[in-house]
Amino acid sequence: METFKASHARLLLELMQRGWRVKPGLKVPHATSPDGNIRLWFKAQAVYMSVGNAHSFAGARSLWVETRGLATSDLVSHAETFSRLDAK
């Protein structure tokens, strides 16, 4: 089974290939959607998300998804769904 560390490295790489701006070398690596509206923060065993223009980890919420074995398209879809709910 894929580890959290391996899944996060894979997801960050695949997000970058999809046009997301990725910052992998930080204490909390993150990826920002091409339009800048969604930022995904990759902690040791969880992914958090912030929505809007002013991203901060302090305002991020857990996505509550299992990243090990998760397809990048499913992660993006999940984040987009939550961002629409957050906007309401």
pLDDT in tens, 24-83: 999 999 999 999 999 999 999 999 999 988 898 988 999 888 999 999 999 999 999 988
What radius of gyration do the chain's Cα atoms show? 12
Where in the sequence is the domain holding 53, given as residue range(s)?
4-87
Domain count, the chain: 1
pLDDT in tens, 55-70: 989 889 998 889 999 9
d(CA 34, CA 36): 5
